[in-house]
Amino acid sequence: MPMREGIYGLIAEFDTPTELVQAAKAAYASGYRRMDCYTPYPLEEAAEAIGFDEPTEKGVARICLLGGLIGGCAMFSLESWVSIWAYPLNIAGRPLFSWPAFIVPAYEWTILFAGLSAAYGMLALNRLPAPYHPVFNAPNFRDGATTDKFFLCLEAADPKFSVSESRAFLESFRPVSVVEVDH
Amino acid sequence: MATNDVSPQDPVTNPGKNWMIDPKTGELRVLAPGQTFRSVTEKIARIVLTSQTPLGWLFGFVMAGGLIAMLLTAVAWLFLKGTGIWAITMPVAWGFAIVNFVWWIGIGHAGTLISAILLLFKQGWRNSINRFAEAMTLFAVVCAGMFPIIHTGRPWLAIYWLFPYPNTMNVWPQFRSPLMWDVFAVSTYATISVVFWYIGLIPDLGTMRDQAKSKFAKYIYGQMSLGWRGSARHWMRYESASLLLAGLATPLVLSVHTVISFDFAVAVLPGWHTTIFPPYFVAGAIYSGFAMVLTLAIPIRKFYGLEDIITMRHLDNMAKVMLATGSIVAYGYGMEVVMAWYSASRWEYFMFWNRMFGPMGWAYWVLIACNIVTPLTTLWSRKLRQNIAYLFAISLIVNTGMWFERFVIVVTSLYRDFLPSSWGTYRATRWDYMTYVGTLGLFTFLFFLFIRLLPMIPMSEIRMMLPQAKVKHEAELQTEAGD
Amino acid sequence: MAQIFDRSSNSLARISLVLSGIIVISLGVTLNYLQRSPWVTRQGQRADQPVPFSHRHHVQGLGLQCQYCHTSVEKSSYAGIPPTKTCINCHAQIWTNADLLAPVRNSWATGQSVVWTKVHDLPDYVYFNHSVHVNKGIGCSSCHGRVDEMPLMYQENTLQMEWCLNCHRNPAKNLRPTSQIYQMAWQGPSSSAPVWCASKDVPGVPTAQTVNCTLKDPASNGAQLAALEIPSLAGTYQVATASAGSGAVSLPAAAALHYTKFTDQDALGKYLIVQYHIRPPHELTSCDTCHR
Amino acid sequence: MSSNGGTGNVFEMGGSENMLHEAQDLNMAKETGSATVRAKQPEAAKQPEATQQSESAQVIEAAQARLAGMTGKRYWRSVDELAGTPEFEQALQREFPQHASEWVDPVSRRGFMKLMGASLALAGLTGCTKQPEEPIYPYVKQPEDLVLGKPVYFATAHPFPMGSVPLLVKSEAYRPIKVDGNPEHPMNHGTTDAYTQGTLLGLYDPDRSQRVLYRGENRQYANFLTDFSAMLSASSANGGESLYFLSGTVVSPTLAAQWKQAQQTYPKAKWVQYDAVNRDSARAASKAAFGEYVDAQYKLDVADIVLSLDADFLSGLWHPGFLKLAGDYAKRRKLDPGVTMNRLYVTESTPTTTGFKADHRLSLRASQMEGFAAALAAALGVGSAPAGYAWTPAQTAFLAAVAKDLKANAGKSVVIPGEQASPAVHLAAIAINQALGNVGKTVVYTETIAPMPTEQTAEIRQLADDLRAGKVDWLVILDSNPVYSAPADIEFKKALGHAKVVVHLGLYPDETAQMADWHINGAHYLEMWSDVRAYDGTVSIVQPMIDPLYGGKSAHEIVQAMLTSPDLSAYEAVRATWKPALSAKGDFDFQWRKALHDGWIADTAFAPKTAPAKIAAIPVAAAPDATAMEVIFRPDPTIYDGRYSNLGWMQELPKPVTNLSWDNAALMSIQMLSSLQAVEGDVIEITVQGRKIKAPALVVPGHPDQSISVYLGYGRRNAGRVGTGTGFDASPIRLASAQLFATGATARRTGDIYEFAITKSHYIDHRDAIARTYGDIEAAKTFKPDAAPTSLEANEAQSRGIIRYATLEEFRKNPNFAHEGENYATPSKDVTLFPNWKYNENAWALTIDMNSCTGCNACIVSCYAENNIAVVGKEEVRIGRDMQWIRIDTYFEGDLNAPRAHFQPMTCQQCENAPCEQVCPVGATVHTPEGLNAMVYNRCVGTRYCSNNCPYKVRRFNWLLFSDYETESLKLMRNPDVTVRSRGVMEKCTYCVQRISAAKIRADKENRDVRDGEIVTACQQACPTQAITFGNKNDKKSRVAQLKAQSRNYTVLADENTRPRTSYIAGVINPNPDLMENA
């Protein structure tokens, strides 16, 4: 990550999910887009508040499906190729193309590939791993965000963002604190 | 002692007359009341982050290490001499190795079931136990996976030829063989379990990173958590990913033991060649799995004073699941016998007569006693279900019983088959026992490492379950403002 | 609170993920090549031999027949390594005191074997039979390469199972007239160098002898030459014919034969497969063909 | 892998062999001739093909050179170091078979690497391991007629006291690797027996005596000759008085001739013959009846009714003419069109396969046999019934029926007395046969096969007395082990001490060798020149297959040393003996070569003697006391009198009837067992005239009460690493006065327990009535023998349709009996989900005739030799890990006191729907286009799933490293066409696929189809009764196809729809209607 001018954004700390969600909704309503909430456990309302809706995005799901199909087809065609063309052998008088037997490994590979794609897909879409992130610069963030505090971050990249106004805007929700976050 | 960290006079654990009963429903609470995000977090995180290792833990750890040494001896000798050191012979060419394999895999199943199926069914109570149930799965699969590899006595070959890859011989695996199916089922099962488990860990690793004091711990957990920061977007994708994984793990876990049962069901041997195996193998697996979860959960919650996170409600539910699956298994046994009689197949008939009253009949009756009689008669009583000592005892009994089930299926079907001239018998050797007990050691060893190094209870999911985790809606806020 | 990780760590983490993937794959690829590499197969390696025997000199230079030394190649599974006597036959007269030949003279004097190192060394569980290959139209050079151009003997092919199967699955591409078996330079027919073949199937007689191929156009007076090329029924096949009970066989006069002209290996191969009664691929690739 | 040539082979076999013979008569003869010459030049004889075998041969050579006190010729300097290495020494000492309890032979790291290497190599891991560079040892001068990779066949014969076996030996680069009967010989038509097959291992036995010893120190043979000739020149003055020879039964006419010569110089010298198993009864009887020693020859092919008086002529070589008798018997049991079925009655005192093959079997105590014989004779009008004998109703009925049947078939019947029956029985038999007018028809009397017939027990008793009397200065013991085998009461071992010098010539440094001053390492019959006579007297020349591995000597050389031309070779001696006879036929050299090539000298069979027997009366002993217990002594079915006890193959071979391996036992009836209040495995102490032995008890169904049978030959003290200490020695209670059976014995349970190795789960475990008493003495006390319990296994075998048989009448009524009834049906081929696989080329198949098989075990040993099968040792056998690819399943039926038994050879059935193939994850066992169930050893990873899924349990697994990769001499013996299996590999019968491939290659080269009978499996080749037939079932004219077309043809477990290629011809018995209720 190259050094950037100015700050990453303003981050407000709340004690309860409710306050966070209120603030987030308001921010979204007043036109902020580049922002994010940070919570110690999944909080759907927060995501909705900042206008993010995974179920409609379906990124992970798509990748997962794709992976599954690839895995299944790959294994089934491998089995068929091996038994019919690569080295045809009379096994116990069974037909070369014993598809019922081939289903099992194909089935397992479907699941294997689907599962892996889901996991890696999720990480990729989340741009993880990212051991470094500006928000970690915020005091209390470390101790709070993964334990019992709720954060709302308005990012400087947002066109509507201005240090003074945005701070005032956040202050209006009586957060525990509002601090500037460096890159 | 670690329990010192969790101060006894912590307000949440004040002992009041059935304070664990939820007044609204009258049911047992899933969690003790009055806990905060931070209290649960600290209680769980401290177990790992505390600097002083509990003596009890050390002791168990060393014991397990000893057993592993024994396992290594047995396996080394096996590679040196060949499978002849085991009791297996003609006609009983499969023995402990396969019995243990099936038994361990079965145990694994409960973990996946709890984390996946109960998740799909939105069973909130699973959250307290799914983490170490999954860990148990992993370690059980490790123990299980060992056996197919070593049971040829020449693992360098087993590994070399059981996977399909282009080789100079132009020869490929034989995909009609159930053993081949096992290779894929078990490897997939292992991989998916690891992934699922790790994905579940990520947020908690984040917490650990942030709770940790020492630089080293911060660094390690930091790397492992992949920089998790609890962003709302991440959470959403994370949720759908784990939902998908749960959705995949469910058919997987059902398929794995089905495939294992094919090892027998696909063979021509009376006592193996039966269509009822897949369902009752799966049921049996879950049966033994939950028994194992109990075996682990009961001492741990006592030892680390987690009574108000792993509550009586959990134990009670698990006992109920055992009751259900146990009944399915019982039905399976019954059905086998009925079919033997109804099919009028002399092979089936003789096999069962022999299995029950033949020279090795005792094994059959042990399994009936352990799997059917003892648990299924007693677990109906709520009183007994909530008697921790009894649950612990029953869990051990069921584990034994399920081991004998596999023993009966493998050995007593083989030792007297089609041609009377080739009838034989089976007497386990010291090496068989050393290998089996050794894997128990390996399992415990890994589990001890796990509870010492990783949060054994998913903190983020516990937080979700706390009342204050809910977002209050306008209406509620109004009323609050009004007061 | 300070960051634990520096900015760069993000890229590092992601790169290392990708890298580990790449490493695994490339490892697989390497092994795949390794298992076919000369390091494993000894392909093209010249082993240390007690005497630096030159096939080029003896075959190309002196024009010795393969069978002069490898006597049992047509009769037995084992082609045969010449006894010291075979060397002495000539080297009693020529190069009688060349230092290079000291081991041979020594062996002759002491009665001890000259201990050669096996160059073409199949695993012990592979049961290869020279006689059937030679009798069914597989030439020496098909497996051993241009021995006549090897100053020191080396292994031309991998001799791995896939290499064997390669031919057992499609023998046509290597079959040649039996008259050309020991012809190192055999290229297969072409429009510039066609082959004429004729056959008359006589049961109980080695196929090789009932098929007659010639490199000269029988139409133009090559017929006699062609006839001359018909190997005699005497010698090695006596046992066979005798036990086949069909005694001496009257071979058709070359003129009477109807010759077909071949200008490419495929056509010739297909023709010879029929004439030589080569077993179909599914039999040639059956496990018990080579393993017992 | 070392012992595997790795070079495929073309060889002539069976049917084609015959033609080849005519074809290249002289050709072969030349080969033979050169074999002769070669036998004198080690470097030729012992430099085999360019595989490691050659190396190992040299190693032994070198070792010998070193061990002979560095005075021996220095062959192979190149490998001297090798021979010197500790590895090699160790290899010589090494336990063989290497087996069993993993504690016994710990694996060194080196061993481990080697073993890994072996299994990796076997696994074809060429991708991961490089093969070591292999050397080639070409000949210096290659014999002209040698084609490496092509075996040569030489005719010879196996000398055996009861009558020799003409052989055709397969020789691979001049190493004999397979011993089989001579296909053209009129006596055995190519069949052999278990002993003869086993002798191959005897040749390569690493425990063979390898050097000449004087009082334990190494010497050269020359040293002995100096002493010997010194003694001779001294004693020629007194005509060789005090010079004694002791040998086993002399079978070589040449040896007899040499002795006759010697006697001219040494008239007073004495030659004593003694074998623990001898023919004294027959000799005594013939002397009494004919005034001279004669042999009886029985012609069962023309006998409708056969009565055996304790004659075990269907089991093995211990009955004279076994091969001929069994063959002829079977001819009359195959129900071929136009051949009437014979009827066999057997009375016997020890249950044998002969007894169980009989249509009617009567078990009599040994002491009752004379009485029964005499009574029968009386019933047929010879002499009068003996007084004092009380017969049970069953016995009376049997006697009456037999007498009636014999009368009715006078001239077409025969009575055969057993060699182990008393002279009186023989006399009775002679009398009956004469009275029935069988003589000249079904039995002829001829000059004895043994050139020097004597009554041996009396002789050795005399020798012992002479020894004690100090009359013996030199005692030369030739190929005999009296210290072990002599009757107990003559105290031979002690007596031996009185001799001044004792010389012992023998294959092994055995008990006698330990006592001898001089020990000379003997030559194996495959290493020596000699001659023998077959059952009918036809002479066969014994010619060496290989130069003596350890420079051993034969009796011929010793005796020759006494003669005017002491260094005349045995070869010359034998030629000299037959020069007159052969020259009479024409050019001697040609005739000699013809004799060598054919394997026998034509027209040397004995002419029948015509003089009738004159029998005053049959001397019958007084009726035995019913309560007195008796002990019956029998030659062992697997190691005979102990001479084969160091052969792993023979030790491991399950004995017929009992399936007991690696041991002998006190065989008895259930009644006897329970009267001893013992259970099987209890050690019993048997006392005869104050002499005691301890032996574990084992029940044999149908054994007479109040008697115990023991096999001789066990309890050896110096047999070698295999034989020493196996079983118990019965000779301490075998007295000169009671060589056949001892009466008035007592027995008691000692309380010790002994564990048997029995190759099938033992029927007694499953007999409910007995099972209750099993291991429970209290119950045994109250056990009621007359409960007549039945065997669960046999019942299952019957009801599962594994064993199917009918009586002749039933068969006539319903020829299709083998396919009717529950579990007898064969499912239709069309009832299947899958399309049936087509077999358009050859379809190999096998049939086994349940009527012909007598369970004699010859096939098993033949399979051992052909397929390099490993010996695993008692401990492994005990837990069911025997490696035999073919086994004889024995099922007992009905009342245990008078059971019927069925013998079913069981081996891989080559199922078309092979359950084993489907479950193999690596495709190590697959089906070939010709329908073989191929087993690819180097592909096998050892999951053992195939075995679990095999309904016939005919697969065998190398649980440990069973194959011996260490012992050099054994490498010479291995069949280079068959992979030696390492540990962790599954193996099984493949219909001798190596022979099939060889035949196909030969046929392909000759542009023809494989002929019917061209391929002969090892088991089929050995089978004395030709019960096994192999061939192409697609060829409707083939013998196998025709047999499969028979109505009696059935497949085992047909209802499993495995579609075996091996099928069985259901048995048909021919009982006497009068005896049906006892049948």
Summarised one tens digit per residue, pLDDT across range B154-173 is 888 877 788 888 889 999 99
For position C97, what pLDDT does the model report?
Answer: 87
Average pLDDT of D522-534? 94
For residue D775, pLDDT over 60 is answered with: no
Mark which residues 118-177 of C lie under 8 Å from B by CB: 158, 160-162, 165
CA-CA distance, D313 to D324, in Å (whole number)?
9
For residue D20, pLDDT over 50 is answered with: no
For position C203, what pLDDT does the model report?
Answer: 67
Average pLDDT of C105-114? 94
H-assigned helices in B343-457: 346-357, 361-367, 374-378, 382-385, 388-407, 413-414, 430-453
For residue D106, pLDDT over 60 is answered with: no
For residue D96, pLDDT over 80 is answered with: no
For residue B369, pLDDT over 80 is answered with: yes
For position C289, what pLDDT does the model report?
Answer: 93
CA-CA distance, C287 to C268, in Å (whole number)?
28
* Residue A52 and residue A63 in one domain: no
The alpha carbon torsion through D964, D965, D966, D967 (nearest 10 deg) reads 60
Cα distances from D731 to residues D482, D483, D492, D717, in angstroms, run 11, 10, 12, 13
Nearest to B176 by CA among A144, D914, D430, C287: D914
- Give Cβ neighbours of residue D90 (< 8 Å, ≥ 6 apart): D966
For position B377, what pLDDT does the model report?
Answer: 92
For position B482, what pLDDT does the model report?
Answer: 56
Name the residue among D835, D836, D927 with its Cβ closest to that of A92.
D927
Average pLDDT of D393-417? 93
DSSP character at residue D957: E
For position B160, what pLDDT does the model report?
Answer: 76
| Residue in B115, B176, B197 to test binding to A, most A beta-carbons within 10 Å | B176
| Whether D802 and B420 lie within 8 Å, measured CB to CB | yes
For residue D189, pLDDT over 70 is answered with: yes
As a whole-number percent, the residues of chain D with pLDDT over 90 amount to 67
Nearest to C46 by CA among C180, C126, C156, C123: C156
Mean pLDDT of chain C: 84
Contact B355, B306 (CB under 8 A): no
User: CA D86, D88, D89: angle at the middle one, nearest 5?
Assistant: 65
> pLDDT category, B443, cuts 50, 70, 90?
very high
> pLDDT category, C234, cuts 50, 70, 90?
very low
Is B171 in CB contact (< 8 Å) with chain C? yes
CATH number of B2-13+29-164+171-482: 1.20.1630.10
CA-CA distance, D347 to D904, in Å (whole number)?
23
Average pLDDT of D511-530? 94
For residue B388, pLDDT over 70 is answered with: yes
Is B243 in CB contact (< 8 Å) with chain A? no
Pick A43 or D109 by higher pLDDT: A43
Contact C154, C119 (CB under 8 A): yes
Cα distances from D95 to residues A180, D99, D722, in angstroms, run 85, 8, 8
Which burial class, exposed, middle or buried, applies to D957 when counting CB atoms under 10 A from its CB (0-12, 13-18, 19+)?
Answer: buried
For position C286, what pLDDT does the model report?
Answer: 94
Nearest CA in chain A to D918: A92
Q: Which helix (H) or strand (E) holds D191?
A: none
Burial letters D748-779, b for 16+ CB under 10 A, else e: ebeeeebebbbbbbbbbbbbeebbebeeeeee
For residue A111, pLDDT over 50 is answered with: yes
Instruction: Lowest mean pLDDT of A8-12, C252-256, D954-958, name the range.
Output: C252-256
For position C257, what pLDDT does the model report?
Answer: 67
For position A12, what pLDDT does the model report?
Answer: 94
Summarised one tens digit per residue, pLDDT across range D809-835 is 999 999 999 998 777 788 888 888 888
Strand ranges for D283-328 from DSSP E: 295-298, 305-309
Mark which residues 420-479 of B lie under 8 Å from D by CB: 420-425, 427
Phi, psi of D574 (to 5 degrees): -65, -45
For residue D55, pLDDT over 50 is answered with: no
Mean pLDDT of chain D: 84
CA-CA distance, C135 to C241, in Å (whole number)?
15
Mark which residues 59-88 of A lie under 8 Å from C by CB: 87-88
Pick B453 or D829 by higher pLDDT: B453
Pick D10 or B451 by higher pLDDT: B451
Nearest to C153 by CA among C33, C54, C27: C54
Is C10 in CB contact (< 8 Å) with chain B? yes
The reply to whether omega before D1060 is within 30° of 0 (cis) is: no
- How many residues in total does chain B contain? 483
For position D76, what pLDDT does the model report?
Answer: 29
Is position A31 within any domain?
Answer: yes
CA-CA distance, D661 to B47, in Å (whole number)?
64
Instruction: Lowest mean pLDDT of B125-134, D400-409, D1062-1071, name the range.
Output: B125-134
Letter for the amino acid at C10?
N
For residue D120, pLDDT over 80 is answered with: no
Is position A175 within any domain?
Answer: yes
For position D619, what pLDDT does the model report?
Answer: 87
Most confident by average pLDDT, B114-128, D791-805, D894-908, D963-977: D963-977
For residue D524, pLDDT over 70 is answered with: yes
Class of domain D796-827+842-1069: alpha beta
Shortest alpha-carbon distance between residue D922 and chain A (Å): 11
Contact C213, C265 (CB under 8 A): no
Letter for the amino acid at D488?
A
For position D936, what pLDDT does the model report?
Answer: 94
Tokens, residue B404: 């004998």
Summarised one tens digit per residue, pLDDT across range B240-299 is 999 999 999 999 999 999 999 999 999 999 999 999 999 989 999 999 999 999 999 999
Mark which residues 681-740 of D lie under 8 Å from B by CB: none
Nearest CA in chain D to A99: D834
Q: What domain count does chain A have? A: 2
Nearest to A101 by CA among D548, B178, B49, D335: B178
Average pLDDT of D787-802? 66
CA-CA distance, B239 to B233, in Å (whole number)?
10
Is A81 in CB contact (< 8 Å) with chain B? no
* Residue A43 and residue A78 in one domain: no
Nearest to D964 by CA among D89, D6, D121, D97: D97
User: CA B345, B347, B352: angle at the middle one, nearest 5?
Assistant: 100
Domain's final residue, options A125, A144, A170: A125
Is position A121 within any domain?
Answer: yes
* Residue A73 and residue A89 in one domain: yes
Cα distances from D421 to residues A73, D633, D739, in angstroms, run 78, 11, 10
Is A148 in CB contact (< 8 Å) with chain B? yes
Letter for the amino acid at D228?
F
Name the residue among A79, A107, A135 with its Cβ closest to that of B255.
A107
Beta-strand relationship, D295-298 and D443-446: antiparallel
> pLDDT category, A133, cuts 50, 70, 90?
very high
Nearest to B328 by CA among B224, B420, B424, B257: B257
| Whether D928 and A92 lie within 8 Å, measured CB to CB | no
Fold designation for D629-788 = Barwin-like endoglucanases (2.40.40)
Sign of CA dihedral B297, B299, B300, B302: positive
Contact D990, D948 (CB under 8 A): no
Chains in contact with A via at least 3 Cβ–Cβ pairs below 8 Å: B, C, D
Average pLDDT of D201-222? 93
Is position A75 within any domain?
Answer: yes
| Set of chain D residues whose Cβ sits within 8 Å of the Cβ of C243 | 16, 19-20, 23, 1006
Shortest alpha-carbon distance between residue A98 and chain D (Å): 9
- Give Cβ neighbours of residue C135 (< 8 Å, ≥ 6 apart): C74, C178, C206, C207, C208, D1004, D1005
* Residue A52 and residue A97 in one domain: no
Is position A1 within any domain?
Answer: no
- Can you give the residue ranges of every domain in chain C? 55-173, 187-289
For position D973, what pLDDT does the model report?
Answer: 93
Tokens, residue D813: 């009524």
H-assigned helices in D804-894: 808-813, 858-866, 874-878
Nearest CA in chain A to D911: A92
For residue D112, pLDDT over 90 is answered with: no
> pLDDT category, B300, cuts 50, 70, 90?
very high
Contact B150, B97 (CB under 8 A): yes
| Whether D923 and A94 lie within 8 Å, measured CB to CB | no
Summarised one tens digit per residue, pLDDT across range B48-57 is 998 888 999 9
Average pLDDT of C51-75? 93
Residues of the domain holding A106? 59-125
For residue D223, pLDDT over 90 is answered with: yes
For residue D174, pLDDT over 50 is answered with: yes
> pLDDT category, D49, cuts 50, 70, 90?
very low
For position C220, what pLDDT does the model report?
Answer: 67
For position D81, what pLDDT does the model report?
Answer: 29
Provide the whole-model pTM.
Answer: 0.89
For residue B5, pLDDT over 50 is answered with: no
Instruction: Lowest mean pLDDT of D12-26, D82-96, D466-480, D562-576, name the range.
Output: D12-26
Instruction: Lowest mean pLDDT of A116-120, B216-220, B478-482, D900-904, name the range.
Output: B478-482
Three-class DSSP category at D443: strand
CATH number of D212-278+452-598: 3.40.50.740
B103 C-beta neighbours (distance < 10 Å), count: 27
Contact D4, D976 (CB under 8 A): yes
Tokens, residue D112: 């481990």
* Residue A66 and residue A104 in one domain: yes
